[in-house]
Chain A
């Protein structure tokens, strides 16, 4: 009897879970299915669930009408360059905060934590002034440079290096290695799991970022994907066949990245204590 009850609740909970899964997946599934419908079929009542005449013409259309390759390349450049620099800057900063004991370092750590209180969204106008003054306006560098610094990344590395025993560091010092050499030869390699986790996070932040491109970029040939897509969806009459296929293309790199590095995101304890 008890066994039967146990089984029943197991079935109930599993069904409940899969109902939720369906609700979460359906919006994406609908986007994907719709993107393969020819333009006329999209608005043809009654709607059919599966495309009746599946076609890739929307994709060809997106790839040729918009300056899509350009936006894709711009986004990729910004994402990759920023991610590499973010890792180097965050790792070295986190290392210093964890392994050197100075009063001013603790103060700086508090300053870094304080940056999360005043996100860029809140101070867009003054940020714009700064970008303009530095001559970074309307350049990809203007997207890269400010995004290198991230409180989350610094925090992740600091927490990691706190767990590294000081003896390891001391023995390297006794062997006569300089601080810089110790960091690059010893500390950076052992922090590989954090590097990968932060790389994935940074990739997602930069690939999907909207605020910085909105502030910094003005000329269409420097658009990133998010800005380009926002322009289609913000138009008076939305070009849905274009928008649907373009959206799917823009998600693809993130999806591929996710399935390659899945275990680093989903299993890691590193995610506890993170933001965004």
Chain B
């Protein structure tokens, strides 16, 4: 009796989250899987088997969005990783002065929503009135059409992504860095190791679990990027910066091609899943 009562309490404690999990996670996930096999357009759905998937693999605009998303994560994640690590090394080094203020400055972008981050960078890089082009002009260089050139628009997107992405990862790195025992470095010093050797043989290996975490979170964040692009470039010029989630949104909500959009969602889900499994495996291998 008493045992049962305990189980009931446990159930009550998780109750809210259990119900929300079923309604807002399991429900939509299964519904999405079902939609992906239908031609659902908001009114009626008839089963069309794998047609959506077959069509997707022949659809140039889907490939484009997929390719850009992978490029975005493939370049963006290493950038975010290096900048966050670099900044946290500076912030934990005994050689730098005035860390308190610097730490706040690096963390500040965390407070700002992706929509406003988009506004801020769009304003800074404006083609005919932006500060960056103004400086370029004053330096006697030619101005850059930041938003009408696809590659340049992508470059601005990287600036903005690193700017937002650094703050939180920096905190993760910093708490790992201060936990590396100082004796390791003392021992290395006695052995005559230089700074680079110490970084390579002590700091990086000690940061391995944190690095896995930072990379996993960053890949997820960039693969599902949406609001930042919405306000920074709106996917343009043309569809040069349209990423997968925006493609799904436009297909599913603007064109009401819900079945088709759901098939694309499932592919994005599989990508995220495969990536996390690979990551998990390599993390295990490193531990052994």
Interface positions of A (Cβ within 8 A of B): 6, 9-10, 13-14, 16-18, 20-21, 24-28, 30-31, 34, 42-43, 45-47, 85, 88-90, 92-93, 95-97, 100, 102, 105, 108, 111-112, 115-130, 134, 145-146, 148-149, 154, 178-180, 183, 204, 207-211, 226, 229-230, 233-234, 240, 243-244, 247, 250-251, 254-255, 258, 262, 265-266, 269, 271-276
Instruction: Please report the C-alpha to C-alpha distance between residue A21 and residue B91 in the assembled complex, in whole angstroms.
Output: 11
Interface positions of B (Cβ within 8 A of A): 5-7, 9-10, 12-14, 16-18, 20-21, 23-25, 27-29, 31-32, 35, 86-87, 90-91, 93, 95-99, 101-116, 118-124, 128-129, 131, 134, 138, 163, 166, 168, 171-172, 175-176, 210, 213, 217, 220, 224, 226-227, 230-231, 234, 245, 248-249, 252-253, 258, 261-262, 265, 268-269, 272-273, 276
A25 to B108, Cβ gap below 8 A?
yes
Instruction: Please report the C-alpha to C-alpha distance between residue A154 and residue B10 in the assembled complex, in whole angstroms.
Output: 14
A146 to B234, Cβ gap below 8 A?
no
Q: Closest CB-CB distance, A151 to chain B, in whole Å?
A: 9
Instruction: Please report the C-alpha to C-alpha distance between residue A13 and residue B252 in the assembled complex, in whole angstroms.
Output: 50
Q: Closest CB-CB distance, B52 to chain A, in whole Å?
A: 13
Q: Closest CB-CB distance, A113 to chain B, in whole Å?
A: 10
A125 with B35, Cβ < 8 A, contacts A117-B272, A251-B112 known: yes
- Partner among B32, B138, B273 whose Cβ is within 8 Å of the Cβ of A126: B32
A247 to B91, Cβ gap below 8 A?
no
Residues of chain A lying within 8 A (CB to CB) of residue B220: 116, 119, 275
Residues of chain B lying within 8 A (CB to CB) of residue A125: 32, 35, 248, 252-253, 258, 261-262, 265
- Partner among B20, B108, B273 whose Cβ is within 8 Å of the Cβ of A24: B108
> Which residue, A90, A93, A204, has most C-beta atoms of chain B within 10 A?
A93
**Total residue contacts A-B, CB cutoff 8 A:** 264
A229 with B224, Cβ < 8 A, contacts A14-B98, A93-B14, A125-B262 known: no
A211 to B269, Cβ gap below 8 A?
no
- Give 21 CB contacts A-B under 8 Å: A14-B97, A17-B90, A20-B102, A28-B108, A34-B123, A47-B131, A100-B10, A117-B272, A117-B273, A122-B268, A123-B269, A126-B27, A126-B31, A126-B262, A129-B31, A180-B12, A210-B114, A210-B115, A230-B231, A233-B122, A266-B171
Residues of chain A lying within 8 A (CB to CB) of residue B118: 233
